[in-house]
Structure 1
Amino acid sequence: MSPSQRHAFPALVRKLLDSAKILGPADFNASELETMDSALQTVSAKLRGIRNSMQPINRLPPELLAYIFGETQLRLPSFLPLPSAGFHDYENWDWREWLNLLEVCRHWRGVIASSPELWSNVCSLADAPAFIRRSHGAELVVYLGLRDSGFSPSLLKALDSHTSRLREFHMRAKGLGDILEHQLFSSPAPRLNSLLIEVEAREELSGILPPIFCGHMPKLRQLALGYFTSWPKEYFHNLTSLCLYNQRSSSFPTTTEFLDFFRTLSSYRGTGPCPRRSHTTVGDRRGSSNRSPYFTETSPEAGSW
């Protein structure tokens, strides 16, 4: 804007305000008024945008502003043992509260829309398909049914072409015995680092985890399983954290089978508590790398392992 335009603009605004004071209903028809109203709204939005851009926070680089926005989101630990116990923030946190940032100004909406990482936490309590779409190629952290064990199976369909992007997958399902047969679980998950699966009311599976993700989860380190007692033998050999809970007493593995599984772990650190095994303890002794170096002691209760 030239200096002359700079000085003329406030004068035009004052003249417009003066003219509006004598404006009557017979001066213009409805169509003309609508056109002028739309033009004035455009000018007003432009002025607000310029004013907002002058605020100190909006002078930050978009990448830094996006990072600040990310700090307002719910951040749970990657390992979520015993989710039904209510020890985690998701029990009383509003997953969608951070979306209020979209209402602040156009600049913030633009920063959020152009930051895929802000949309990479997919929750069944929010508009999950929209989050999946806006996250583009970012790695996904997925929470399905954690608060009430309920979610629409259509969410699995929205995810089934994105298994290669899964970094964490946490699912609690109730009354959906065949849910693990969904197409989502038939593709590899090469980036998956943490997995929680709890499927209640699944008598037909007898505590056995069916094949999932083609057995291809090379980066999986953290595992929590509810109502599952055993799994394919070639699975889960790189774990550092494990929690087994709500297991069926009729299908417990033998002590030998369980210890054989621990011997396959190269860097196991600890295990979450399991019903009927409150005296199980895991030490932290260093050992050779070709055997289970951290598992040092177990004291099962009478009648269990």
Structure 2
Amino acid sequence: MAQVCRRWREIINGAPELWTFVTDQDKASTAIVLDRSREHPIGIWLREDPIDESLYVAVLAQSHRWILADIEVHRDDQEALRRLEEVDAPMLKCLVLEVSALDRHSIFVLDLLRDHPPQLTSLTLVEVAMRFWNSRLRSSSPQTKARTHSYIRSYS
């Protein structure tokens, strides 16, 4: 639509609500999307293996804006997993987290959500177990559901 005319391009580029979904499918546009979305809530989809370091850092730096996060991290990428444990996502409503591994019979344990997202209502964990959850998550979000997959230990 931005190709139609200069006026449409100005409108589209100036409307942050149109720039709220970040994916790893087009790394070149990630910085543009993050910039044009300004401070609007965003959804992210990161499923590329291996994770592009600069893209990952840029998206994690915006975790305070996440409302939806669908992330796949390879179990052997310890640095990516460590960074994920430090995420602060107060607006997060939906989290899908998959830790892939060559050994399909292993479960990876993460210490996530220590400062739980108060709006979290949907949680999907694949090949992940939570070390423990803050009891406030359970009491403040009774509708939180964890859909289970094989080799999953989940909490709700």
Specify the TM-score bucket, using the shorter chain as the normaliser: 0.7 to 0.9
Query: Shift in Å at residue 193 of structure 1?
Result: 0.3
Q: C-alpha separation between the residues in 2 aligned to 1:114 and 1:247? A: 45
Equivalent of 1:157, from 57, 61, 66? 57
Partner of 1:218: 118
Letter matched to residue 154 of structure 1 = S
Partner of 1:180: 81
In structure 1, the residue corresponding to 2:117 is in which secondary structure? coil
Unaligned regions of 5+ residues in structure 1, if any? 1-100, 253-257, 263-305
Equivalent of 1:138, from 40, 61, 67? 40
Q: Which runs of 4+ in 1 moved over 4 A?
A: none
In structure 1, the residue corresponding to 2:109 is in which secondary structure? coil
Q: C-alpha separation between the residues in 2 aligned to 1:105 and 1:185? A: 44
Q: C-alpha separation between the residues in 2 aligned to 1:246 and 1:129? A: 36
Query: Shift in Å at residue 245 of structure 1?
Result: 1.4
Q: C-alpha separation between the residues in 2 aligned to 1:161 and 1:125? A: 19
In structure 1, the residue corresponding to 2:89 is in which secondary structure? coil
Query: Shift in Å at residue 186 of structure 1?
Result: 1.2
User: Conserved in 1, the CA contact under 8 Å of 2:24 and 2:30?
Assistant: yes
Across the aligned residues of Structure 1 and Structure 2, the Cα RMSD in angstroms comes to 2.5
Identity of aligned residues (%): 23
Query: Shift in Å at residue 218 of structure 1?
Result: 1.1
User: Conserved in 2, the CA contact under 8 Å of 1:224 and 1:243?
Assistant: yes
Partner of 2:66: 166
Residues 95-244 of structure 1: matches in 2 within 5 Å?
Answer: 101-126=1-26, 127-145=29-47, 149-174=49-74, 176-178=76-78, 179-182=80-83, 185-201=85-101, 207-234=107-134, 236-237=137-138, 238=141, 239-244=143-148
Q: TM-score, normalised by structure 2?
A: 0.79
Q: Which has the larger radius of gyration?
A: 1
Q: C-alpha separation between the residues in 2 aligned to 1:130 and 1:185? A: 26
Report which of the two has the higher share of helix.
1
Q: TM-score, normalised by structure 1?
A: 0.43
In structure 2, the residue corresponding to 1:181 is in which secondary structure? helix
Letter matched to residue 102 of structure 1 = A
Q: C-alpha separation between the residues in 2 aligned to 1:202 and 1:234? A: 30
Q: C-alpha separation between the residues in 1 aligned to 2:15 and 2:42? A: 14
Aligned length in residues? 147
